[in-house]
Amino acid sequence: MKKITLALALVLAVNAFGEGFRNVEWGSDLATVKKSEKNKKMEVSKDVQDYGKYHWERQLYSFEDSMKSAGKFNVEYVMLKDKLIKGSYTQKIKDGDLTNYTKMQKILVDKYGAPQGSAERSSLVSKDGKEVRETEVILTWFGEKTRIDMKLINNERYQISYLPTDEKIIKFVEESGLERERAKEKELMKDSEYIKNFI
């Protein structure tokens, strides 16, 4: 049992409440990420998010990793304009077996203490062309520059997300999200000046 716990702890050991994700500091570029991961082959995808006036086009770099005691899991780096803004581990749950989820939760509690926040949320999401209800149970730990969210999603998978709490990174993400809106505002101002001159 101790060997299993130790092996699982190694997955999280490099993510102590420090500067980022898997020994890569928040805000690092892709070249730094690849060097840290010894140039592992990564799957690349794009994620577009719109929230009101905010718009982000993020690049996702992911690969599969595995451990004898924990099985296969997905590692993902989230980049925005070539800067690291999020990292996560995701593992599927087979046949409702929550053993690995429970082990990981215990490791986080042993390392950081009791969760500093918890929540449950439910929302409709699109899956295979159909709207289905997705329920998340979330446990949260806060560090000096990193927040850890552990999500249990529909008892189908769990995800451990690492997010920056550093004000500079948060400001960068916010400003990046507003660029399209500000570009629209500039265009509107140009149109407004044109109309004034035309009249």
Low-confidence ranges of the chain (pLDDT < 50): 1-18, 192-199
pLDDT of residue 123: 84
24-35, pLDDT tens digit by residue? Answer: 999 999 999 999
What are the Cα distances from residue 155, in Å, to 95, 169, 188? 9, 32, 47
Which residues does 188 contact at the CB level (< 8 Å), separation at least 6?
A: none
How many CB atoms neighbour CB 163 within 10 A? 21
Give the pLDDT confidence score for residue 9 in this predicted structure: 46
How remote is the C-alpha of 132 from its chain's centroid? 22
Exposed/middle/buried for 128, CB within 10 Å: 0-12, 13-18, 19+? exposed
Name every residue whose Cβ is closer than 8 Å to that of residue 32 and which is 6 or more positions away in sequence. Answer: 24, 25, 84
Q: What does the pLDDT read at residue 11?
A: 45
Q: How far is CA 42 from the centre of its chain?
A: 16
Which pLDDT score, from 0 to 100, does residue 188 have? Answer: 60
